[in-house]
A and B are shown apart, each in its own frame.
Chain A
Amino acid sequence: AQKVTQAQTEISVVEKEDVTLDCVYETRDTTYYLFWYKQPPSGELVFLIRRNSFDEQNEISGRYSWNFQKSTSSFNFTITASQVVDSAVYFCALSETTQGGSEKLVFGKGTKLTVNP
């Protein structure tokens, strides 16, 4: 079965530091999608990025960047010059095709990031 591992349970940094959140996945599918979500203290999961397995280009969006490496089955997320508002739980997720042909997501356990002023 598909599996997503976020080995870092909690990370604490000081504002303006760069921080990388790790995500390693296991899949039997040849085509799949990877996602990152942010869950701020308010509780609602916010979508950040979706990547398909054929696109290994790194993505940058403002202070956020993602590094997808198929060779190591990793999809890491870096926040540059972190800010207090980045404090949240971040989830990595992987698509999975069920036996019935439907699609669902498998989530990692999340990494809690605390950015201190």
Chain B
Amino acid sequence: DVKVTQSSRYLVKRTGEKVFLECVQDMDHENMFWYRQDPGLGLRLIYFSYDVKMKEKGDIPEGYSVSREKKERFSLILESASTNQTSMYLCASSLPGPDTQYFGPGTRLTVL
């Protein structure tokens, strides 16, 4: 079974803090993705990575950066958290190509 884990289910941070969200997959997948999910807006892609140290911007990259130093780990970084980044963050991984993405349980981030 594919397993994608995320470092926290719930996180509360203060405005201006630097926030790291970690995602780890155990299926040797090349592709990894970060989404945010907001009511009425569905899932929106922030960044994705198709190989170690490679990344590509998604639809809403502003205010975020990512890091992929190892194949199994993909980190989302909020350099200076703001209240409008309060959201559910979902990580996913897949094989190359338009393959099925497998999702982690999500991190609900609240920025006060």
Contact = CB atoms under 8 A, between A and B. Distances in A.
Interface string B84-111: 0000101010001111111111100000
Given A43-B88, A102-B50, A103-B97, A109 B42 contact: yes
Give chain B's interface secondary structure class: strand
Given A33-B98, A46-B103, 13 more contacts: A32-B98, A35-B100, A42-B105, A44-B103, A47-B101, A47-B102, A100-B56, A102-B48, A102-B50, A103-B99, A104-B48, A107-B43, A108-B42
A8 to B, nearest CB: 13
Interface of A: 9, 32-33, 35, 37, 42-47, 50, 91, 95, 97-98, 100, 102-105, 107-110
B100 to A, nearest CB: 5
A91 B103 contact: no
B102 A104 contact: no
Given A32-B98, A103-B98, A104-B45, A44 B105 contact: yes
A98 B50 CA distance: 12
